[in-house]
Amino acid sequence: MTRKKVTLAYIANDAARKATFKKRKKGLMKKVSELSTLCGIEACAIVYSPYQAEPEVWPSTLGARRAIARFKNMSEMDQSKRMVNQQGFIRQRIVKAEEQLKKQLRENREKEIGQVMYRALVGEGLQGLTIVDLNDLGWMLDKTGKEIEERIKKLKKSAPDSEQAAPVELQADKSSEEDNGEAAPKSNAAFNDVVAAEAMQNQPWYMDLLKPRNEGNAMSLGRNDLMPSYPYKNPTPPWSNFYFP
């Protein structure tokens, strides 16, 4: 079965056009038959062609006459309400495609601005951006910021203990959290791991956020009031570092 992209235009080549006609007419009849059977509805299809005098008809001449009769029995309004010709149909398709395009453009823009945001977070400058870009960036920061707040609230609800809790209490909390079944075990485990690590190493927790993640890619982060506000990564970053210790 060839899957070439076909241009939506009259096929000039006679042989190609005839071959396409045969195939697609057959496919069309199959589709109308399936529709009728699957949904238990009445239908008919009539196809004229320059290749034969009589039209090709589904389900049969008699079946088509019956469908036409039922059609004509309906009011003018019912008939024309969902009636369409080529012009109308193609216009509908254009409208639909334009809506999808608008949606896709918006999604892509969001993804782009997200990228800009993450790059800015690691120190890439804001210079090249237009005011429009900056506004969108601000919007994205607000939106993500809100999501973070929500998530923090949720996590704090199911892990009400303070961050400086001793390991012993942590164990108890961990099991009670599991009992609740409310907390996301993964993120709480991360939280507990970090706090436990801190408690064990006897250092302020924010100094040593060496968190192995994704193939042991360890990075250290600064706390806002102690170190530069932007988190800085390990020595081989994809983008240039703003602050390098």
Q: Does 245 bind other proteins (CB under 8 A)?
A: no
Q: Does 221 bind other proteins (CB under 8 A)?
A: yes
| Structure tokens given for 204 | 């302020």
Binder of other proteins out of 59, 64, 196, 220 (CB under 8 A):
64
CA distance 49 to 65: 19
Between 50 and 181, whose beta carbon lies closer to other proteins?
50
DSSP for 169-238 reads: HHHHHHHHHHHHT-S-HHHHHHHHHHHHHHHHHTS-GGG------TTT-------TTTS-SS----S--S
Between 150 and 175, whose beta carbon lies closer to other proteins?
150
State the number of binding residues for other proteins (CB under 8 A). Answer: 119
Q: How far is the CB of 177 from other proteins (least distance, A)?
A: 12
Q: Does 25 bind other proteins (CB under 8 A)?
A: yes
Binder of other proteins out of 1, 202, 213, 216 (CB under 8 A):
213
Q: How far is the CB of 185 from other proteins (least distance, A)?
A: 11
Q: Which residues contact 195 (CB under 8 A, 6 or more apart)?
A: 163, 164, 165, 170, 205
Site string for other proteins, 143-182 (x = CB under 8 A): -xx-xxx-xx--xx--x---x-------------------
Residue whose C-alpha is closest to residue 154's, from 188, 179, 195? 188
